[in-house]
Amino acid sequence: MRVYYEWGTKQLIKHGEELCGDSIVITRYSDSVTMVLSDGLGSGVKANILATLTTQIAINMLENDLSLSEVVQTLSETLPVDRVRKLAYSTFAIAKFSSHGSAKVVEFDSPSVVFLRGRKVQPVDYEERTIEKKKIREAVLNLEIGDWIIFVSDGVLNAGIGGVYPLGWGWDQAAHFLEEHAHQELTAEDLASKVAETVNELYASRAGDDVSIAVIKVRQKLLATVFTGPPADRNHDEEIVARFIKRGGKLAVCGGTTAKIVSKYLGRPLEVDLKTITRDVPPIARMEGIDLVSEGILTLTRVSDLLRSGVRKKDIMFQTDGAANLIRLLLDADHIHFIVGHALNPAHQNPELPNELGIRLKVVQEIEEELRTRGKEVTVEPV
């Protein structure tokens, strides 16, 4: 069974500092996800440099197909030790998640991973070994849909120290909090935010240490397909519509001509919803079996503009226009496939319309680029 890993991260900077002394890097590959969290000794610029160095060494080695053992060996040999405090200049947790549902976790001087299943903390069977006089803990997790894996830095466990919790929040209290709040309807980002908000409250908004939270949620991959623009060869219309429908997941049609093609071959009527029209975006339409039917190039251009401005799903949660609907559909998906027709659309040959309106593929590529920066898998199929 193949699984999908969704992640969310949050950080708080120690009060009085400008840079976070922790570093988190999460990278998706074709068949795996890697996570590295490092906590630099102390705080501020020096800690930030040390933590960033650690995560970059680890990620670069993993990208070059070196094993976790080789990465740990290199880090153990590379990272110096503070001569006064006898502490490593940075600690780390590294995890590699397989698309088949297993994860290998390696920790050095960092808080233990929290592994939740059914909102209950699961025991983690660690094995210890010593590399370059550093004690390394390793564990293998067999994962299922619905599991949560949470990594934190010391700043989470130290929250509330000397106040609400004289000895700090601690691992047990933090894990209990996660048990109470890890509802399946939450995203990984939601859960990371809840932890960060609580930690910030425990610190009375004056964090006494750098704080890092990395949440991994195991679930099924969510698919979306966007069909925009009529195919270059009309003889292929029916075949492409059939392929579009069979893809499953969320289905969106962008473009009046494209919508008419889909309507014709499915034998389903189109109903325009004029209540959804705005100054910038034409109205959407309804068609049985299709999650969204919108106008084409104007809507796609608006989507591109909003994504590049940094819009988030919550910013447009209650908007009903075509661009907002399409952005929500795209951001909810993990893999988005664009079917882009190359036929010349007569509607875009008006010389008074901006040139870019005739370059459908260019706009789709802009959207593709922005979605990739948000961790989405995107494929584009010209037809």
pLDDT for res 344? 64
Measured at the CA of 363, the angle between CA 358 and CA 364, to 5 degrees, comes to 120
The pTM of the full predicted model, rounded to 2 decimals, is: 0.79
Q: How far is CA 298 from the centre of its chain?
A: 27
Separation of alpha carbons 172 and 121, rounded Å: 10
Measured between alpha carbons, how far is 206 from 208 in angstroms, rounded to an integer?
A: 6
Predicted local distance difference test score (pLDDT) of residue 356: 38
pLDDT band for 266, please (50, 70, 90 cuts): very high
pLDDT of residue 43: 85
- Rounded Cα distance between 73 and 133, Å, is 11
Q: What percent of the chain is modeled with pLDDT above 90? A: 69
Q: pLDDT digit string (tens) for 181-209?
A: 999 999 999 999 999 999 999 999 999 99
Lowest mean pLDDT among 71-85, 105-119, 313-327, 357-371: 71-85
351 pLDDT band (50/70/90 cuts)?
Answer: low
- Residue 142 is predicted with a pLDDT of 97
Q: How far apart are CA 223 and CA 246, in angstroms?
A: 12
State the pairing for strand pair 335-340/223-228.
parallel
* Domain spans in the chain, listed from the N-terminal domain onward: 4-219, 223-382
pLDDT class of 355 with cuts at 50, 70, 90: very low
Class of CATH domain 4-219: alpha beta
Per-residue pLDDT tens digits for 273-292? 999 999 989 999 999 999 99
pLDDT value for 343: 78
Mean pLDDT, the chain, whole residue set: 90
Q: Is 180 left (phi over 0), alpha (psi -120 to 50) or beta?
A: alpha
Structure tokens given for 159: 């929250």
8 Å CB contact between 11 and 40: no
Residue 85 has pLDDT above 60, yes or no: no
